[in-house]
Each structure stands twice: as structure tokens, then as C-alpha cells.
């Protein structure tokens, strides 16, 4: 009888030890065991995130200002019917002698404007301005059936132009100029003709050499 009581007491003590010991959670067969070691893909240790938020760049100044000149809806006839898309003509500039333009096409208007804006940044033209923020001399830009006449104006005149011509001149930084459009009135043709005329402008020194003056 005494031996049986001793065995029962040992079993009770073992039960207490088992109840007091913490139970370790076993990982499932399909899950990998967790580790407290935070390492990156290259094996280096990753510390806690600094700040935890991305920098807000919405209030940063833009390098170029943009302006939508013309939006057109186009369609393509296919076997199943018509596919409608939009084209956007966008002009950009920094008001300091640099400007660009491009056309973007997409199924939605905002996407077309975004594509045109990105393409315009790859098509940057430079313009040399003279005193009074005007052109150095008269010039005629030509593209197809469109001719754009540009004439420098004294300070205080402003930009006497309309539509696409005004968009390019304002974003390029020209403040005093007179203009006239002849021929085709398509927006893209006017923009290309204006750009062609501004690219043909010559500086003051180049004009002196052409006129034979020292």
C-alpha cells in the first residue's frame, strides 16, 4: 500500500510540472518557422522604418508649367464597331526661354494629357530673349499650309496673339510680341509653325554678322 501511494504522488507531481510548463506553439506543416532576425534580400539587417511616411511632393515647385491647347475625340472602325479615343495637344514651358509641345492619345482624357506632358518633356526647345522680354527680330514660321508672323514689340505691349500662339509665347517667357496667323487654322499646325519660327531666331551678334557690321 505504501508503494502505491508513492507512485500516485509521483504521477501527481509530474502533472503539476506539465501544467506549469509553457506550451510551445508548433508551426503548421505549410508555414515556415518564424524568426526574429530581420534580414533584407541581400542578407543585411533591416532596422525600423524612419518616420514611416513617404515625403509629400505635391507642394514642390514644378519644373515646367503645362497648358492644354486642344482636345479631340477620334475613332477607329474595327470589326466589332468603333473604338473611341481622345487626343490632347499640350504645351509646356518654364517662362525662362524653354518650351515644348507634344500630342498624346488614350482612352481617357486625363491619360491622354499625362502622356502628352511626358512626351513634351522630351521635346524641349530653347529660345533666346532680348531686353524687354521680346524677340530679337521679325520672323515667319511655316509648317504645311500655316504661316505664323511674329514681330517684336516695345515693353508694355503684352502678347497680341490668340490660341496656340499665345500658349507657346507665354510659357516660353515672351511678354511683348505681335503675331498673325495665315492659312491653316489647325491647332497642331499653328503650334508647329510657331515653334519653327522661334527656332529660326538669331541672336544680336549673328544678325550683325549677317548685315556686314562689325
- The vertex-141 CA angle with 190 and 198, nearest 5°, equals 95
* Phi and psi, residue 62, nearest 5°: -80, 150
Measured CA to CA, the distance from residue 203 to residue 200 in angstroms comes to: 10
* Cell 495665315, residue located: 182
* This prediction's pTM: 0.68
* CA dist., res. 180 & res. 168, Å (int): 14
Q: What is the pLDDT of residue 64?
A: 84
pLDDT < 50 positions in the chain? 1-2, 5-8, 10-12, 15-19
pLDDT at 114: 94
- Cβ neighbour number for residue 11 with a 10 Å cutoff: 9
Query: For position 8, what pLDDT does the model report?
Result: 47
Q: Tell me what pLDDT residue 170 has.
A: 92
Residue 191, all three cell numbers: 503650334
- pLDDT tens, residue by residue, 10-53: 444 554 444 455 555 555 555 555 555 555 555 555 555 555 56
Coil, strand, or helix at residue 21?
Answer: coil
Say what the pLDDT of residue 17 is.
Answer: 46
**Hey, which residues does 147 pair with through a beta bridge?**
142, 182
Provide the pLDDT for residue 150: 94
Domains of the chain: 65-125 (3.30.160.20), 127-202 (3.30.230.10)
Amino acid at each position: 500500500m505504501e508503494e502505491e501511494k508513492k507512485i500516485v504522488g509521483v504521477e501527481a507531481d509530474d502533472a503539476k510540472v506539465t501544467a506549469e510548463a509553457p506550451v510551445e506553439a508548433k508551426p503548421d506543416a505549410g508555414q515556415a518557422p518564424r524568426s526574429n532576425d530581420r534580414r533584407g534580400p541581400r542578407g543585411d539587417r533591416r532596422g525600423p522604418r524612419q518616420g514611416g511616411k513617404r515625403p509629400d511632393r505635391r507642394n514642390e515647385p514644378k519644373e515646367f508649367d503645362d497648358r492644354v491647347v486642344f482636345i479631340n475625340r477620334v475613332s477607329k472602325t474595327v470589326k466589332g464597331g468603333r473604338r473611341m479615343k481622345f487626343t490632347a495637344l499640350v504645351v509646356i514651358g518654364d517662362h525662362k526661354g524653354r518650351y515644348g509641345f507634344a500630342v498624346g492619345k488614350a482612352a481617357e482624357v486625363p491619360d491622354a494629357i499625362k502622356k502628352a506632358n511626358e512626351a513634351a518633356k522630351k521635346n524641349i526647345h530653347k529660345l533666346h530673349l532680348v531686353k524687354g522680354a521680346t524677340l530679337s527680330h521679325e520672323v515667319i514660321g511655316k509648317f504645311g499650309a500655316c504661316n505664323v508672323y511674329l514681330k517684336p514689340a516695345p515693353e508694355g505691349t503684352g502678347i497680341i496673339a490668340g490660341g496656340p500662339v499665345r500658349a507657346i509665347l507665354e510659357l516660353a517667357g515672351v511678354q511683348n510680341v505681335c503675331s498673325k496667323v495665315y492659312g491653316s487654322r489647325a491647332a497642331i499646325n499653328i503650334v508647329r509653325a510657331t515653334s519653327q519660327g522661334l527656332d529660326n531666331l538669331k541672336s544680336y551678334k549673328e544678325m550683325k554678322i549677317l548685315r556686314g557690321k562689325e
